[in-house]
A and B are shown apart, each in its own frame.
Chain A
């Protein structure tokens, strides 16, 4: 357990479904991140939140919608996804964007 908890660990959803991924950290960090890792590809940054404010959106399609209600929780709302969105979705947190990023174990998403 790294201190960053992601749920669910695995998710299978249809293209017309709406689901949400949850990330929680109790490390006292003030920055949180969503990354996507497709098969055999490097991690891709999706969204960055600093002090609950979104500071970076890396040209992510609108079918992915992040939400950060407080500095400890981060959500990724999913709707009308495509099969190519199947990937490992990783959440991370850090203090002031510093080197010590702590990652969760990820959610393995399969879109059918």
Chain B
């Protein structure tokens, strides 16, 4: 799997958009970008994933650059409950059913009141 680089920590004011960056410069054509988050002492939660088009769901938006070497997860109106560690994971569709998801250190997002 391609390696990802995320800042170790970020702060965001409550009610503002949280933009979490991820670099994946060695990503290959069949690799998806996934985002999960882990609220303190809970299991990780799937947020969103994408290949090359921007994606949006009820939780967040995922913006992938045209060259696919980086992406940004956007939480449009951050709340205190969004305080968590956010993991950006790159994974090949070929790994489905063969290799399990692996997690790095992620970005610790602290939403400030």
Q: Is the interface of A mostly helix, strand, loop or mixed?
A: strand
Which of B14-22, B40-48, B60-68, B71-79 forms contacts with chain A?
B40-48
B46 and A106 contact, CB distance less than 8 A = no
**What residues on B are CB-neighbors of A98 within 8 Å?**
96-97
B97 and A96 contact, CB distance less than 8 A = yes
Interface size on A, residues (CB 8 A): 27
Cα–Cα distance between A103 and B96 once the two chains are bound (Å)? 17
Shortest CB–CB separation between residue A9 and chain B, in angstroms?
10
A-binding residues in B (CB < 8 A): 32, 34, 36, 41-46, 49, 91, 95-106
B-binding residues in A (CB < 8 A): 2, 4, 31, 33, 42-43, 45, 48, 50, 55-56, 88, 90-92, 96-106, 108
20 new A-B contacts at CB < 8 Å, known A42-B104, A48-B100, A103-B42: A4-B43, A31-B97, A33-B101, A43-B103, A45-B101, A90-B43, A92-B101, A97-B95, A97-B97, A98-B97, A99-B34, A99-B46, A99-B91, A101-B36, A101-B44, A101-B101, A103-B43, A104-B43, A105-B42, A108-B41
